[in-house]
Structure 1
Amino acid sequence: MSDVLGSMRRTCLSCTSLVRGLAGAGLVTASSPAFAADDPLAALTSWIIVDLNRHELVTLAMAVSVLGFSVMSAILLMRTRQRAAAQEARLRAEVQTLQAESDRFRALLFAEPQVLISWSAGDDRPQISGDIALLLPNDAHGGQPQRVLAFGTWLPPEPALQIDHAVDALLDKGEAFLLHLTTSTGRAIEAMGRAVGGQAILRIRELSGVRRELADMSRRFKMLQDETDMLRGFADAAPWPIWTRRASGELNFANAAYARAADASSPADAVGRNLELLDSTDRGNLARALAEDSEFAARLPIVVAGERRYFDVRALRLKGGSAGMAVDSSEAAALGAALVRMAEAHRRTLDQLSSGVAVFDAQRRLAFYNDSYRKLWDLDRTFLDSHPDDSSVLDRLRAARKLPEERDFREWKNRLHEAYRAVEADKAIWYLPDGRAISIVTTPNQEGGVTYLFDDVTESLDLQRRYGGLIDVQRETLDNLSEAVAVFGSNGCAQLFNPAFTRMWNLSPEALNDRPHIETVEAWCRPLYDDDASWQALRGAITGIDDRKQVALKLERKDGTVLSCKTMPLPDGATMLTFQDISDTENVERALRERNEALETADRIKIDFVHHVSYELRSPLTTIIGFAHLLGDPSTGPLNDKQSEYIAYITSSTNALLAIINNILDLASIDAGAMTLNLGPIEIRRTIAAAAEGIQDRLARDQITLDIDTDPAIGEFVGDERRVVQVLYNLLANAIGFSPNEATVKLVVRKKGTNVVFTVTDAGPGIAPALKDKVFDLFESDSQGSRHRGPGLGLALVRSFVELHGGKVEVDSVVGHGTSVICEFPIEPGAQRNAAE
């Protein structure tokens, strides 16, 4: 009001100034009483009434207008001020009321523990209020409320990631969410996000009581719903018809496969029309089966798309109804039928075989047999058709004396039945008491059981034995001929030769075993005889087809040997070529003149002779040993005591001869510089044991004791373990041979500087001083004081092998007090040398 009065006063003063200005201009007289009294209004009135003239009237009108406008403005301003004051009073009362309501709402909002987080538009820093200790127990005073936004500090990783994504979606897109989570401390909380009035609000509160139960129920409901959706999706996508029915029998679910099989446009169409997949009879059987039991399973025919197919139908009775599924088994049924037809075809084929066939199943019962099996064992058909087990069949055959005579039949039968657990087939020959030989092949079946194949091989074995005997006679005859014999087939390749042939032409038996062509053999022989006409005649006689005649030639080789050569056509198209050395009759004089040259090359000839003869002897010897073992094998046939004794003599003699030949080969290899040691660490005790094992029979036979004295810290050294065993074996065998019965042979092993020393001492008669230097010579053997006369190779091999290792051998003997052989081997490999040295 005071402002309005002041404004009016200022207006009046302006009017007074205006009047005064008019008076100064002569428009108003200053003698007016009102003007003198300084009353503006009186002066103005006086001016209006007294001093008006025509020109002044216009000016006066303008002044009155200005004055009226000023008065009106002052009045309006006064009223506006009054209304503003009243509005301010009302607003203050409303603010107080709103503040009271806000405090009341805040009290109600935070009556339970919860945290509110709000994000305003354009403000990145959210406002956080509430009980921070609900989420951060270690920050009960709210010192760091911003830590609430680090969800991983109070939530496990997966829930923290879930709420983080939900908050991002709320801030970016305004998407609301409601999550039920469990904090790291085990509290169940509810996180609800909403966009309200341009703000994003996140409320987090603890669940308890009914809300918690409701949240658990919601979570379980969602899990069950997800599981139901997943199962329904699987059922919808399954290629097999799947359906469920109510207890009343009405269809309430069907998948796409069911709809296609029932000729429905969709699963909903199949359910709506209650279409049936099975015919009325099968449906009745299924309903009765489910009423009596909780499960139904059968292979039923179903017409699908106009085609009759077979399905394996399975249905289960469930609470509130039933569920079923049908799997297409048409292909399996077709394959089963094909398998049955194939099995029948196999049975018909097996019935035509001459071999006896018996198939036993996994329960060891006879599942199939052919007529040859029944005839072979002379078994009753009724008995076989009763499907007896394997043991019953064997017991019946044993009772009829149609099985091999075994001392422990139960153990033999258990070994035979190991075929039921075997992986690979097994072969054997049964020699029956009636003289028959039966070949048996046991083959495990993949589905379980065993298939037996029986063949009577009595005649085959007899023919093989006779044929082998003829071959042996032929081989022995050819091998012992002084003439060189070789047989070439109609294709010109070598088929047979004797040792004399290889020696005569200096050929390798191994090379001839590869059946070379006559042209190849000719190339090998040309260094000794290079006459084109003679070789052409021989090639024509061997490879010719027409006019096959005998050819006789006399060949004088480059080495001076004169040979008589003949070819003999054989009935099978082969050609026999023989060479006979007639040099002695025709070249006696020349042989005498060349004696000096032969003496000069005696050492070389000796080595070549030993090498070739040893190889040529070992081949027939191996054959003799093999057939001796074959004759001694009970499976070959029974022998009387005298025959068994002779076989034993042959075996022992051939083994000894083989050992001699092997020793000769070793010596020949050493002399030829072809022996190479296989060096490696040698465990001395194991080496001694290996050598001692080979002489156990001699020790037992002669009642000789072997005394081994080894340094406990002997350790090992580097060498060829096989050759060291051979050295020790020869030393021990030699010591046993010269020791009397019930004597003791000593083996002492010691370390001596950088060497290992083996000393073998016997209790024999000793060696005379004159013979000490000869005991290591080849083929030098002194039988005095020994129970056997050997070839004189053992000690020669000992010296060769020890020296090959870089060691040395010494003999210390006193006549009448036994002999000691000392062998020293270097420990370090640097002290060794190979055969090339």
Structure 2
Amino acid sequence: MAVDRAARRTAGAGALFIAAVGLPAPSLAAGADLPSWGFGSHMHNVAAAAIFGGLVAFATIVALLYLSERSRWTRREREQAAALDALSGAHDRAEMLLAAERQIIVTWDGRSEAVVEGDVGLAFDGARPASGSARRILAFGSWLVPADAEAVETAVEALRVRGTSFRATLRSQSGRSIEAQGQAVAGRVLLRLRETTEDRRQISELRETLEDARRGLSALAGLLDAIPQPVWRRNREGSLAWVNTAYVAAVEATTREGAIQDGIELLDRPAREMIAREDAQRRPAGQRPALRLSAVVAGGRRILDVTETALEGGRVGIAVDVSELESVRADLQRQMDANVRTLDQLPTAVAMFDAGQRLIFHNAAYRQLWDLDQGFLDARPLDGEILDHLRAARKLEEHADFRSWKQGVLAAYRSAEANPAWWYLPDGRTLRVLAEPNPQGGLTYLFDDVSDRMKLESQYNALMRVQAETLDTLKEPVAVFGADGRLTFANRAFAAAWRLDHESLEARPHVEAVIEACRVLAPADEPWLDIRDAVVGLESRTGIACKLEMVDGTVLDCTAQPLPEGATLITLIDVTASVNVERALTEKNDALEKAAQLRDTFVHHVSYELRSPLTNIIGFTQLLGDETVGALNARQREYSDHIMRSSGALLVIINDILDLASIDAGSLELQRETVDVQATIEAALLGIEDRLAESDLSLVLDVPDDIGSVFVDGKRVRQILFNLMSNAVGFSSAGQSITVQARRTAGDLVLSVRDQGRGMPPEIAAHVFDRFESHTLGTRHRGVGLGLSIVRSFVELHGGRVSLDSRPGAGTCVSCTFPIVLPASHAARDLESEATEEAAE
């Protein structure tokens, strides 16, 4: 039994050792061979205390068995010896493993004291530990930061009580990093403390290096994405491994990953094969020219400069869009060709020489100017050879020292600026020669034939002299001011009119000085201000006209007219005689206007003065006619009727005169009201019925029943109709008819009166609406000529118009058109209705 217990104890020790190093526990039954132990860097270190305890127990048991039953247990003794050797080797290896790094192993077996193995100096920052310091390892608060010490104490307590494993990273008070791992193994509690300061430092450095590399790659990727040109990277197999955003847009892919996964190529197969052939030549990357290829980019055909370079692990490429460059280059070439064609059409002779003084271009005008052979010019002769050829053909002017003159001409190749010169040819032509240095070296000659221009300039100067002499002989004062406001020309009449001496005019005085000198004779300020503004004003230059009154009574009509190039022409005309006539006419007109005003005042006053006695005459005549004061005989009754008719006619004339006076004064106002048109016409007829009966005339009314009403002055409309019908009665003969017609349109009311009288010729019809115009035309009609004038005035006050249609032998028709005006209340209702309709829409 003792042996069995010893065997079981030995087996338990071995199992504890196996659990400490993290290996699976082998069977330790009697007679079983102990396995050999191996340790890796990933296994936990074996607790030294457990190993030593197991070995001591095992050695004691073996010794007892050997003493008591040596002969019986010989074979077991050998086996145990072998196992002992194996455990000794495992012990040595465990110690080596513990010493390989700074760590501490603490084990608890039940309620026994903790066994501490390993480098206890871990808790003392490398200092030599004092006696009993191994026990002080568990005083975590003495060497760990308070928070970590409290946490690990709680975790160890939970491990020992409930077997709860844990793993934590602790910080010592000196700043080192400690890894703590606790677990329960085969009934024991194991706590491992290992310093990881150096590991963490290396990991942190590696992490920082990795982050720097990652940020660099991210920045590089962002930079490549920001490039507007497509960029790509291929792996060793030639497939796409990465593309930028421009590449994705160029191949019209949805995402970067989709373009890579689907292998969407920007270049077609022939283009990629061409790149592969270029790469096969194995030229250095800096010496490889970019391949100009055509490709479809974002749905359009573009020209690309493609560069693809081999790198370790693949290839990288970029495509630069040079379509615009190609277009610009083609445009430049076309522009150059156009310039050549343009220069060839210029009348100015042009010749270009390179830095070697050889002819590289000439236009047709150059060949025609010197009459040179095309073959000679195509041979690109030297500039000096051309000069010698022209001298031999006697096309250049003769010089005493031609060689010196030729060297002077060719010296322009060394000049930095244009060199103009004048050549006088033997045939009488004059050339202006401009030698312009070219940026790349050489010269460009411009031969401008100025013979005609010089001839025209001479003719112009002669013409200017003739014009100046002509202006100088004029009797009217004339002066010309330049754009700077200074006097450029003044004829003798101008100097004589303003008493200016010749020396002051030759000095080209400013307009201010000229005005100050002239103001002595014409002191009015306003005309001179206008003249000064016309000469030097900054606003739009327009011609002005004003009058200058001189102190001697002379009146000058001044005109300022702008000339080209900012000049101004001042002309003066003596209008004293016409001004005097104009003044006389003005005074006469004023006198006539005053006389007309006095006439109107007199007529108005007399009309009012006549109305009162006329009213009395009419009143007393009515009393006599009514026979209220006594009976009248037939002759008296006839005289009374004549007095009534004459008084009524006189009252109408007076009323017409007063109405015209009120209209002229602007004091007559219309009293508008809504009147029935038919009733108004019938009311006007009541006053004319007696005259119609006396004259044996018939009346025809052409008025529709639905003529309606209008908003007018009813009294004035009746007066209009009465005057028109009275006029028609006066010019009609017995047995004829008078027609009164009324028509209404959408915007007008037309009232017309037509008679069948003799009519009027056009020269009389043109004046029938004038005041005091009366024509009998062979009839008995007499009047003062106010009827139709009153009609026109009243119709025009209503905003209407009057028209006359009359021909000799065809009668006369007078039509009055009244615009239909709505009353204020009706207009307000109409506006409200329109606003309602607009809101509804």
Q: TM-score, normalised by structure 1?
A: 0.35
Of structures 1 and 2, the larger Rg is shown by 2
- TM-score, structure 2 as length reference: 0.35
